[in-house]
Amino acid sequence: MKSVAIMTSGGDAAGMNPAVKCAVEYARSRDVEPFLVYDGLRGLIDGSIKAASDVDLSGMLHRGGTLLRTARSKRFHSHEHREAATRNLEARGIEKLLVIGGDGSFQGLNQLHADFGVPFVGIPATIDNDIAGTDYCLGVDTALNVICRATDSLRDTAASMRRAFVVEVMGRNCGYLAMVSSLASGAEICLVPEIPYDLAAIDRRLQSRVEEGTRSIFAIVAEGTRYADHLTRWFNDTLNVESRMTVLGHVQRGGSPTVYDRLMAYKFAVAAIEALLDGEDNSIIVHRRGAGFSRLPVHEVVEGKKEIDPMLMELCRPLCG
């Protein structure tokens, strides 16, 4: 391998910038010329590709989001535009791709590989932590820290005003963020798609606390349940506790990457460049507890189902009923 193009795609996540920086520097150390693709899949089609320079990397490590920018592109569904992307790579002598993103990005690059044989390796980066086969995706730790800082602040005002707060967190149909942040913030309620919840049982559990004069009640709800608004009304109508709902939204994606995300970015990037040098042509770098980093065929990742740590599920189960 003489050259590689590095790109970020899909939703932005803290940790993408450190991964780009490390991938460029490690590629150079292995005598591979690194290129940068700007604007994700759209940039591949439009030829927004340039040789990486030190200026491009300057100040990148501590920045959230992605300085390469990212964009979803409906045009990439077209064979014609995937062909244009391939021609742009060939015109610059780029042999392989390293994509940092989520399962949608991996599916798009897998189709490019199937149509035109463009080799690629993927690094999972999404705050949802919902990619099959890996225990960790870049950006998750930073997002959890953002959530916990927000919930700690809301706890202060909830206790001051004697209120219940319902906090909706991201995750699509995966409840990982909600589970971890519920435990870390001491929430009384956690509602996630993976665990059945029982409002009658929650009512019985919390009623005595309300009668004893508890200063606040906190609930964290995964967006995939679509239940945050209903739970807010339930606090008012059933428990007779004044309540407020806070949707953290895209604030969870921002912020300077934590030390853990920076370190994991370096490890993912080294593993990805090594995989490309070893001749991998359509695999994803995954991290598993106790097993370190390994490679999975892309179809196992995009077609698989995310499995959440059973211990985490058991710890959260009492908060659901």
Provide the annotated active-site residues: 128
Sheet holding 96-101, edge to edge: 49-51, 33-37, 3-8, 96-101, 120-124, 282-288, 292-297
Interatomic CA distance for residues 115 and 296, integer angstroms: 20
- Give the pair of three-digit tokens for residue 129: 């932590």
Q: Do the strands 164-169 and 292-297 form a parallel or antiparallel pair, or are they unpaired?
A: unpaired
d(CA 268, CA 87): 28
Q: Which residues does residue 5 pair with via DSSP β-bridges, in sequence order? A: 35, 97
Instruction: For the chain, give the number of residues.
Output: 321
Number of neighbouring beta carbons within 10 Å of residue 315: 15
Q: How far is the C-alpha of 271 from the C-alpha of 264, rounded, in Å?
A: 11
Name residue, tokens 């906090």. 167
In the three-class reduction of DSSP (H, G, I as helix; E, B as strand; rest coil), residue 158 is classed as helix
Report the distance separating Cα 186 and Cα 184, nearest Å. Answer: 6
Token duo for residue 229? 């608004």
E strand spans, the chain: 3-8, 33-37, 49-51, 96-101, 120-124, 164-169, 189-191, 217-222, 243-247, 282-288, 292-297
- For 20, the 3-state DSSP assignment is helix
